[in-house]
A and B are shown apart, each in its own frame.
Chain A
Amino acid sequence: MPELDDHAPSLWQRINAYHDELFMAPWRAGIARQARNEEEILVALLFLEALGIPGPADYYALELYPDLIEAFHRWHQRMGMETFPEAGVCC
């Protein structure tokens, strides 16, 4: 006998989900691109040293590195470098 699905969304949840998707769908791509641009600026600023440029904020931003290393990895792959040439940075 099939079990009753306790997790089936209620009508109200479905209405909410419909409107949330209606709100997001037309703008999802544009906002994701905008967020990516902002992330790229942040990554570029924080990883200046890895690119061979002295970064004035590096000392203060050291503790952000673990959180942004994945973003940096995605960035250099998007830039066409499958692995980052500098040893010990990310891959």
Chain B
Amino acid sequence: MPAFYLIVITLGAFYLGYRFYSKYLAERVYALDPNFKTPANELADGVDFVPTNKHILLGHHFTAVAGAAPIVGPAIAVYWGWLPAIAWVILGTVFGAGVHDFGAIVTSARNRGQNIGTLSGKVISARASTLFLLIIFFLLTLVNAVFGVVMAILFEAHPGSVIPAVIVIPIAMCIGQWVYRMRGAVLIPSIIGLVLLYAAIPIGQMYPIHIDGLADMLGLSVRTTWVILIFAYTWVASRLPVWLLLQPRDYINGQQLLVALVVIFTGVIVGWDTITAPAVNDVAEGTKHWFPYLFITIACGAISGFHSLVASGTTSKQIANETDARYIGYGGAMGEGSLALAAILACTAGLGSAADWNTAYASFGAASGGALDHFVTGVGHFLSNLGIDAALGASFAVVVVVTFAGTTMDTGVRLQRYILQEIAELAGFKSLVGKTSLLTTLAVLIPLALALAPGGESAGGKGFAFGQLWTLFGTTNQLTAGLALSVIAVWVLARNRNPLAAIVPLTFLLFMTSWALILNLLDFLAQGSWMLLIMDAGIFVLTAWLIVEAVTALNRQRRTA
């Protein structure tokens, strides 16, 4: 089947979802009111609460929620065939992510812009705030661990991409200086920066960076050395002021995201590639089955709890009119679904013949260990359809993923620092409070230990548990989504409206997450992977806790209503 048909089917389904289902949500479930005074208008302070144009807000909401995760998840999940992957992306986006992201904005806006953590304490129970804090702690630990490994895998496999991936740092710093010191507009310097970044790609090909010598000197593998270097860099980056590096790099990422989507879709159409992966892959007995693993392997791109943090953290404080929530929340979810579609296309139509695909996805280990390679190879192929050398195209894809991952880690370590401080305060460890360097070190060392945890089949023979870490990351992400959907469902029920739109995805997610966690637990026990086992058991306890809290809150609300 031509890959173009998949684009038409997916984007067509998104259109129908937006046209009809989001309209139903807006009118019947969230009952948007154009006359409601949003927090941005009521509490306008020019800092947190600023009424913002809906197109600008969609742009920043979309670039904040989209990153490397909607690329990596689908690149692994096509192991079970393109059909389950694309079906989950479509259904998850239309009936899950759309409801969740849209609902998180509305619920927060109706509560003076409070975030999901505060809202869970208010709407569900006081204990739920602590639950939220612990879920976020696990989520950030896993985010930092998986993206550290993602970057190390790519740098080891594509040493030609190191120079362009590193050069983005001084470019971003120059843009930060230009905007804040020289008071200049951002557009032109950022375009120049993007051109310089892409110009560095062929230079990187000419001068690939190998760190074998350093690894030998340290007595470590190349990948382990990269992981340590990346975490050391993250420690430094997360201590810099946000305007200097994080903000301009985040903005460049937004531009890269658009460039990547345009070149992938254009490459598919121009090359008229066909999908060579099977619709449903007949996986070997004893391998991870798509039911339930598919639903936690693709989190971002189908439904992701991380979005509720952005939706309730910043977006809800800036919407100028409540009716904009549909365009921004539901529209942003569809944008992320499109990125997942691009990743599926790269890994099902960009790898060559059916035999090539079968070799690349020979086992779940090969699928997870090689997911990033498959994505960059696919993008390289699509760029070759546009007359660009495939190796340069692959390097471009590496740069996109690495810059996304680097920004995510920088943000993740900063947030983890705050979470650790809050946990330390709750636990009575006063000596940790306010110790930024110590907290940053802890925020780096915990995921570093997890990233270096030895793994099983997905290690690709290199002693890494990337596949297992990814599934654990998926479970915490879905758990966060579960908490946000619980808040939304209780809030909707309290207004005597039908909460099924939130309860159905909530039940589905909690069921799939629990099931996958139990299967993982048995796997880790059999393999003797103790660190992963402890992590999995901790997440399972949080899931059980969330189920109890959600059921109790919904029952209480039902009796009141």
Contact = CB atoms under 8 A, between A and B. Distances in A.
Nearest to A26: B60
A15 B187 contact: yes
A60 to B, nearest CB: 25
A51 interface: no
Interface in B58-89: 59-60, 64
Interface in A18-50: 18-23, 25-34
Interface stretch (B45-53, B267-275, B337-345): B45-53
A31 B185 contact: no
B414 to A, nearest CB: 9
Given A21-B52, A21-B53, A31-B242, A16 B187 contact: yes
Given A29-B47, A34-B242, A23 B251 contact: yes
Contacts of A20: 185-187
B115 to A, nearest CB: 12
B186 A18 contact: no
A39 to B, nearest CB: 13
B243 interface: yes
Contacts of B185: 16, 19-20
A30 B418 CA distance: 13
B57 interface: yes
B308 interface: no
Interface of B (DSSP majority class): helix
Interface string A6-22: 00000000011011111
Interface of A (DSSP majority class): helix
B59 A22 contact: yes
B556 interface: no
B55 interface: yes
Interface centre among A25, A30, A31 (most CB of B within 10 A): A25
Interface string B293-326: 0000000000000000000001001100000000
A26 B314 contact: yes
A25 B187 contact: no
Contacts of B57: 25
B242 A25 contact: no
B505 interface: no
Contacts of B164: none
Interface in B361-387: none
Contact of A25 (B179, B248, B318): B318
Given A16-B187, A18-B56, A21-B56, A26 B243 contact: no
A27 B52 contact: no
Given A22-B251, A22-B254, A28 B50 contact: yes
A26 B250 contact: yes
A27 B247 contact: yes
A29 B115 CA distance: 14
B244 to A, nearest CB: 10
Contacts of A15: 187
Given A21-B53, A31-B247, A26 B64 contact: yes
Contacts of B248: 23
Contacts of B55: 18
B242 A27 contact: yes
Contacts of B64: 26
12 contacts: A19-B185, A21-B52, A22-B60, A23-B186, A25-B56, A25-B57, A25-B318, A26-B247, A26-B250, A27-B242, A29-B48, A29-B314
Given A18-B56, A23-B248, A27-B242, 9 more contacts: A15-B187, A19-B190, A21-B53, A23-B186, A25-B50, A26-B64, A29-B47, A31-B243, A34-B241
Interface of A: 15-16, 18-23, 25-34
Interface of B: 46-48, 50, 52-53, 55-57, 59-60, 64, 179, 185-187, 190, 241-243, 246-248, 250-251, 254, 314, 317-318
